[in-house]
Amino acid sequence: MVPVDRDTMQGAYASRGGDALEAFLLCDSTDPQSVLPRCRAEGFGIEVQAFYHPAALADSNLVDATAEAIEGVTPLSVHGPFGDLCPGSFDPMVRDLARLRLERAHEVAVRLDAEHIVLHHGYVPHTSPPSGWIPRSRDFWRALLDRVTAKMRVHLENLLEIDPEMIAAVVDEVDRPNLDIALDIGHAHCRSRGSVLDWIEALGARIGYVHLHDNCGKEDEHLALGAGTIPLPEVCAALEERAPRALWALEVAADDVEPSLGVLSGCGVQVEQALPQ
Nearest to 142 by CA among 156, 157, 128: 156
* pLDDT > 70? residue 3: no
Q: What is the enclosing helix (H) or strand (E) of 126?
A: none
* pLDDT > 70? residue 10: no
Confidence of residue 273 (pLDDT cuts 50, 70, 90): low
Output the CA angle 92-94-97, nearest 5 degrees: 110
Nearest to 253 by CA among 231, 227, 216: 227
Question: What whole-number distance in Å separates Cα of residue 254 and Cα of residue 26?
Answer: 9
* pLDDT > 50? residue 9: no
Q: How many other C-beta atoms can be found within 10 angstroms of the C-beta atom of residue 19?
A: 9
Instruction: List beta partners, residue 14.
Output: 22, 271
Question: What whole-number distance in Å separates Cα of residue 82 and Cα of residue 51?
Answer: 10
**What is the three-class DSSP state of 232?**
helix
* pLDDT > 50? residue 5: no
Question: What whole-number distance in Å separates Cα of residue 102 and Cα of residue 119?
Answer: 8
Question: What whole-number distance in Å separates Cα of residue 206 and Cα of residue 147?
Answer: 21
Provide the pLDDT for residue 4: 38
CA distances from 13 to 109, 193, 249 (A): 22, 32, 11
> Model confidence over 43-88: pLDDT tens digits?
999 999 999 999 999 999 999 999 999 999 999 999 999 999 999 9
Query: Please, what is the average pLDDT of the chain?
Result: 92
Single-letter code of the amino acid located at 51: F
* pLDDT > 80? residue 1: no
Provide the pLDDT for residue 19: 46
The percentage of the chain sitting over the pLDDT mark of 90, rounded to a whole number, equals 88
CATH class of 23-269: alpha beta
The percentage of the chain sitting over the pLDDT mark of 70, rounded to a whole number, equals 90
Provide the pLDDT for residue 271: 85
Q: What is the enclosing helix (H) or strand (E) of 229?
A: none
Burial 239-249 (b: 16+ CB within 10 A, else e): bbebbeebbbb
Q: How far apart are the first and last CA of the chain?
A: 21
* pLDDT > 80? residue 20: no
Q: How many residues does the chain have?
A: 277
Question: Per-residue DSSP letters for 26-87?
Answer: EE-TT-GGGTHHHHHHHT-EEEE-GGGSHHHHT-HHHHHHHHHHHTT-SSEEEE---TT--T
> Model confidence over 200-221: pLDDT tens digits?
999 999 999 999 999 999 999 9
Give phi and psi for 84, each to the nearest 5.
65, 15
* Pairing, β 207-212 against β 12-15: unpaired
